[in-house]
Amino acid sequence: MNTKNNNRQEADILKGLAAGIVGGLVASFAMNKFQAAWSAIAESMEDSGGKDDKKKNQSDKKSGQQKEEQEPATVKAAEMISENVFDHELTKKEKKYAEPAVHYATGASSAAVYGAAAELYPQVTVGAGLPFGTAVWLLVDEGAVPAFGLSKSPLEYPPSTHTYALVSHLVYGLTTEFVRRAVRRAL
């Protein structure tokens, strides 16, 4: 009888992993869409700032005073893996595919752990995934990414950058939980 309980628990954990992966993939997509919308709104607000501001921005670009865009942490992570594991430097074309691959792999793996944890400790789902999204933001964005040299220190970014990242991860967490719950019920 004890073996049956262990097998049932293992099957539940596997279902939790599967539900988490699906939730994480959908949530990563939702996070991308949210960030695109946020960026479009921010850009339109900047564009409506007036002609003088627009001229200043254009002259700043010409004089090189604006910060150069850096590669996203996802591309840097892909480069690090490719160079250290495969001894291969990514081409520009490969970087284009590596960025979403790392984003979705991170989203799916984080949510897989969340899905398995939800099977063992259902209380992790309290808060509709918002605590999960916050934890991913703290551990990954604010912790691991700078620790691995994939970004500057969190102290070097303005509060608006942290707010954008946190809200993005709240969307991720909320979406993960709703999709995980629906998939888990279906399994």
As given in the structure block, the two tokens for residue 135 are 């934890």
- Residue closest to 111 by CA, chosen among 54, 161, 162, 184: 184
Q: Using CA atoms, how far apart are residues 47 and 42, in angstroms rounded to an integer?
A: 9
Q: What is the pLDDT along the chain (187 residues), one digit of tens a residue?
A: 455 555 555 559 999 999 999 999 999 999 999 999 999 998 888 887 655 555 444 444 443 333 335 889 999 999 999 999 999 999 999 999 999 999 999 999 999 999 999 999 999 999 999 999 999 999 999 999 999 999 999 999 999 999 999 999 999 999 999 999 999 999 9
pTM listed for this prediction: 0.82
